[in-house]
């Protein structure tokens, strides 16, 4: 685990053990139930630091290999996110194959919960794309190994405001690095995707006197951003190339790629979206060569994970927020490590994550 593992799982990869080996996965569980129609994959990447925590995504995958690829890619990201955040958690992720609009029901979610229960706490689940807190309530009827429950059930509720706070801290740390001051007053920020995280982020930035630009595919969200925060609405095509100080991708993965990087005029990229670099190595290096400061996504967006982790230990919102505030220091630490090792910021974050896992493996070698 001391080597930088920058390769991602190729789209065509369906050689199961080769796929697991190339990403160093511990265990992959395939769950099938004819009665409910459940087809799920639970990918457990690494549990050196603790049980693997990661949400359950429900998606209508065209091919089973796409579901497997998603599970492998996302679970590996969770390992790194937990490690850099300093949590005693490993990385895992589950995917349920099917259309969440038509196939999801109580029986299917509870059957899935029984499979989670069978793993005896090695995997802890939560909501993700295509699943909701209501679904997690059903899962919770069959297993205690679930977080992201509603506040009424003792959980932390929606983690998005905490994620947004962490992203805000990461933006301030990046400003400190770029401009020698973390004040954002008078700076311009372009936020792509103003959903649950993006909208909360706008609030923080607006309070600090930032000039805001926004894009989304949701017109009512755009309208709300313009009315509440004086944000200027631009198209999804134009937002990438805007002449702004900071670009905050908060919608899709893969937004930093061969087509978009050439258009960037910003000095900092710091946003919530997962897997922003289409290719970690190529595009991480390209941003570095252009002198753009990139805040690694799995470091800056760890607030949501910190929030659900707090829930697992008895939820207190204040402690989740203060731990999330530390993303500021973590981001600066990663930038320093990248400079010292002369690698891009993403690679430095992965090296740091792997080093902690390696060190803890040594700690755990004695009973
Ligand atoms: P969300 O679904 O609430 O918001 C996403 C927004 O992006 C929506 O407003 C949607 O309309 C918009 N969008 C979708 N496609 C778009 C496109 N092609 N162009 C522009 N906008 C588009 O999701 P969220 O919870 O706000 O999460 C945002 C990102 O942050 C996601 O990548 C998510 O994986 C990541 N993330 C979220 C959390 C969290 O706590 N919610 C934690 C970690 C990472």
Task: Give pLDDT tens digits for 138-189.
Answer: 999 999 999 988 888 888 888 899 999 999 999 999 999 999 999 999 999 9
- 196 C-alpha vs ligand 1 centroid, how far in Å? 7
Task: Give pLDDT tens digits for 211-232.
Answer: 999 999 999 999 999 999 999 9
Task: Give pLDDT tens digits for 326-366.
Answer: 999 999 999 999 999 999 999 999 999 999 999 999 998 88
Q: In 3D, which of 43, 65, 70, 64 has the Cα closest to residue 54?
A: 43
Tokens of 257: 């790629």
Q: What angle do CA 350, 18, 252 make, to 5 degrees?
A: 50
Residue 93 annotated as catalytic: yes
Question: Which atom number of ligand 1 is nearest to the Cα of residue 193?
Answer: 7
Q: What is the per-residue pLDDT for 223?
A: 98
What would the 3-class secondary structure string for 265-277 be?
CCCEECCCCCCCE
Residues 6+ apart with CB under 8 A from 86: 326, 330, 356
Residue 6 has pLDDT above 50, yes or no: no
Q: What is the DSSP string of 62-106?
A: SSHHHHHHHHHHHHHHHHHHHHHTT-S-EEEEEEEES-HHHH--H
pLDDT band at residue 14 using 50, 70 and 90 as cut-offs: low
- 197 C-alpha vs ligand 1 centroid, how far in Å? 7
Q: In 3D, which of 67, 77, 79 has the Cα closest to residue 32?
A: 67
Neighbours of 223 (CB within 10 A): 11
39, 81, 93, 104: which is the annotated catalytic residue? 93
Backbone angles phi, psi at 31, to 5 degrees: -120, 130
Spell out which residues line ligand 1, taking CB within 6 angstroms: 159-160, 163, 192-198, 215-218, 221, 236, 250-252, 272-274, 301, 304
User: What is the C-alpha separation between 41 and 289, in angstroms, rounded?
Assistant: 38
Q: Output the residue whose Cα is nearest ligand 1's atom 2.
A: 195
> Would you say the C-alpha torsion 325, 160, 71, 154 has a positive or negative sign?
positive
Residue 12 has pLDDT above 80, yes or no: no
Cα 190 to the center of its chain, rounded Å: 19
pLDDT band at residue 288 using 50, 70 and 90 as cut-offs: very high
Mean predicted confidence (pLDDT) in 112-135: 95
């Amino acid at each position: 685990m001391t080597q930088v593992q920058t390769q991602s799982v190729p789209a065509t990869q369906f050689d199961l053990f080769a796929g697991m080996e190339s990403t160093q996965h511990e265990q992959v569980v395939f769950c099938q139930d004819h009665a409910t129609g459940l087809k799920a994959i639970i990918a457990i990447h690494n549990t050196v630091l603790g049980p693997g925590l990661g949400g359950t995504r429900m998606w209508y995958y065209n091919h089973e290999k796409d579901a497997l690829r998603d599970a492998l890619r996302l679970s590996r990201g969770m390992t790194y996110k937990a490690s850099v955040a300093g949590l005693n958690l490993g990385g895992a992720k589950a995917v349920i194959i099917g259309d969440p609009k038509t196939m999801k029901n109580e029986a299917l979610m509870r059957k899935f919960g029984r499979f989670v229960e069978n793993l005896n706490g090695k995997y802890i689940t939560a909501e993700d794309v295509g699943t909701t807190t209501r679904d997690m309530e059903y899962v919770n009827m069959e297993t205690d190994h679930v977080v992201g429950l509603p506040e009424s059930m003792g959980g932390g509720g929606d983690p998005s405001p905490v994620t947004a706070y962490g992203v805000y801290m990461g933006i301030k740390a990046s400003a400190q690095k770029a401009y020698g001051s973390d004040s954002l007053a008078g700076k311009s920020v372009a936020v792509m995707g103003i959903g649950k995280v993006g909208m909360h982020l706008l609030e923080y930035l607006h309070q600090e006197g930032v000039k805001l630009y926004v894009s989304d595919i949701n017109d009512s969200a755009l309208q709300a951003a313009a009315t509440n925060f004086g944000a200027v609405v631009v198209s999804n095509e134009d937002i990438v190339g805007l002449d702004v100080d900071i670009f905050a991708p908060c919608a899709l993965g893969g937004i930093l790629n061969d087509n978009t990087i050439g258009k960037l005029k910003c000095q900092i990229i710091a946003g919530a979206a997962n897997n922003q670099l289409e290719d970690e190595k190529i595009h991480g290096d390209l941003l570095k060569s252009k002198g753009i400061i990139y805040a690694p996504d799995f470091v800056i967006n760890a607030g949501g994970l910190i929030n659900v982790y707090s829930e697992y230990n008895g939820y207190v919102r204040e402690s989740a927020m203060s731990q999330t505030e530390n993303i500021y220091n973590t981001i600066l630490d990663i930038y320093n490590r990248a400079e010292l090792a002369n690698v891009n910021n993403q690679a430095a974050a992965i090296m740091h994550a792997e080093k902690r896992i390696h060190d803890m493996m040594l700690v755990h070698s004695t009973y």
